[in-house]
Structure 1
Amino acid sequence: MYNIVFQNDHLVIVDKQALVLSVPSRIGENETRPVLGLRLESDLGITLYPIHRLDYEVSGLIMFAKTPQAQKITNSWFEKKEVNKTYSAISSPLVQNSENLFNVGENYLWKCRLMRGKKRAYEAPHGKESVTKAKLIEVRNDFFHWELNPVTGRSHQLRYELFRHGYPIVGDDLYSSTKKFELPGIALRAFKIDFQNTKNADVLELPPFIEISKNN
């Protein structure tokens, strides 16, 4: 379900497997899917305080605070956009062999206004601003490898952006992908969290960044 990547008296950072909830869902007692936060609390024997989430289908780095004070500090980092998270994604064009709109090695800035429906995100004039930095790393056999930095933290932000541009994430049938992912979940992984622009990182005894393999 998880591997602990970093831990001290203030925080625990783990590599979450796909098909695991970050925290309990709204379904409550009827929820049957595994929940990372509850499992961690049980294994560590302490109360944990959520800081951010990863979608059920997504793998990678996620942080939990061990104290309310640590949660308050880290929450302020995310609110002020001082934490830089980087995701690896593999996508495939909806129309095979279509003209490629993106160039390997180039950086892109994607903006839209997002709302969250019951299952999917969608664009709306009154939606919340969504900003994503994207870089195309490689194209191989109609598979596009990306590095993505969500400047904002909207629900399904990265999944919707690649779908919006015609390149849904492999395995993400919720956003029209027709490609099967060989591993559980979808081909989206949070592999790096950078704390170098945060304030009080030294108080929480954090390294400049945490990075794991881009591969699940």
Structure 2
Amino acid sequence: MTPLDIILADDDIIILNKPAGLLSVPGRYIPESAFSLLAEQFGELHVIHRLDRDTSGIIVFARHKAALTHVQQQFEKQKTRKVYESLVIGQLKGNWGCVNLPICVDWPNRPLQKISHVNGRYALTRWKRLAQDAETTRVEMYPKTGRSHQLRLHMLNLGHPIVGDVFYAGDSAKEQPRMMLHARELDFTHPGTGEALQIVCPTPF
């Protein structure tokens, strides 16, 4: 395992640039995760939010319960600003758009999720096209909510699954070294100092 890319570590929080392929928290059969590796180094740790295993980028952990509550409430009340960057398959039409489709667990096919207007929870993603070539489109995405697999499903619903997405992009994903989805920017208020943090982690693809 290569050394973790820690962006910030103080008495209240740890901000990590999580690599693709590393779980955010331990799985049933995979104990190694960003959480477990950081806990070995720093001790007490609390989960504020998660990134999918195959998504890289900014993830924040709390070092005590007061920090956990402070930052978690910012996520729950949608007071954070999140920006993701991705490559999707095909030429996405338009320069910008919005996907508002509810999401729930696809129980027979877990851990997959699905769009459901009956059982789904509200999920909203705004997107902007950055660049395009004959085979892919580079997209910036601004999720208002944080549902599991939200960006992956919303891009799939537009007809443009994320490059390398082993769950939703079919056999083409096997040809890719990773899923091309990165949590690039995160703005939130520091739980100890009250400082407005604007974290940027450049996209590695």
For residues 47-68 of structure 1, give each alpha carbon's deviation from its aligned partner in whole angstroms, at most 9, with x where no partner exists. 1001000001111110000110
- Residue 90 of structure 1 is matched in structure 2 by 87
Bigger Cα displacement from structure 2, 203-212 vs 139-148: 203-212
Instruction: State the shift of 1:187 in Å.
Output: 0.3
CA distance in 1, matches of 2:16, 2:196: 15
Aligned residue for 2:167, secondary structure, equals helix
User: Would the aligned equivalents of 2:13 and 2:60 in 1 still touch at CA under 8 Å?
Assistant: yes
- Residue 200 of structure 2 is matched in structure 1 by 211
Matched-pair identity in %: 28
Instruction: State the shift of 1:194 in Å.
Output: 1.3
Q: CA RMSD in A?
A: 1.8
User: Would the aligned equivalents of 2:55 and 2:179 in 1 still touch at CA under 8 Å?
Assistant: yes
User: Would the aligned equivalents of 1:112 and 1:129 in 2 still touch at CA under 8 Å?
Assistant: yes
- Residue 12 of structure 2 is matched in structure 1 by 10
For residues 90-139 of structure 1, give each alpha carbon's deviation from its aligned partner in whole angstroms, at most 9, with x where no partner exists. 0113xxxxxx5522xx3311100111121211111221011001111110
- Residue 165 of structure 1 is matched in structure 2 by 158
CA distance in 2, matches of 1:208, 1:38: 25
Gaps of 5+ in 2: none
For residues 169-208 of structure 1, give each alpha carbon's deviation from its aligned partner in whole angstroms, at most 9, with x where no partner exists. 111131024255653x30000011012xx5xx47445453
Gaps of 5+ in 1: 94-99
Relative to structure 1, is the Cα distance of residues 176 and 101 closer, same or farther in structure 2, using a 3 angstrom cutoff?
closer
TM-score, length-scaled by structure 1: 0.85
- Kindly report which structure 2 residues correspond to 1:1-216, keeping only aligned pairs within 5 A, or say none: 2-25=4-27, 27=28, 31-32=29-30, 34-44=32-42, 46-93=43-90, 100=91, 102-103=93-94, 106-117=95-106, 118-126=110-118, 127-177=120-170, 178-179=172-173, 182-183=176-177, 185-195=178-188, 198=189, 201=190, 203-204=192-193, 206-215=195-204
Q: Hey, which bits of structure 1, 4+ residues long, moved more than 6 A?
A: none
User: Would the aligned equivalents of 2:12 and 2:192 in 1 still touch at CA under 8 Å?
Assistant: no
CA distance in 2, matches of 1:50, 1:18: 18
Aligned residue for 1:189, secondary structure, equals strand
Aligned residue for 1:77, secondary structure, equals helix
CA distance in 2, matches of 1:67, 1:204: 15
CA distance in 2, matches of 1:23, 1:87: 20
Q: How many residues align?
A: 198
TM-score, length-scaled by structure 2: 0.89
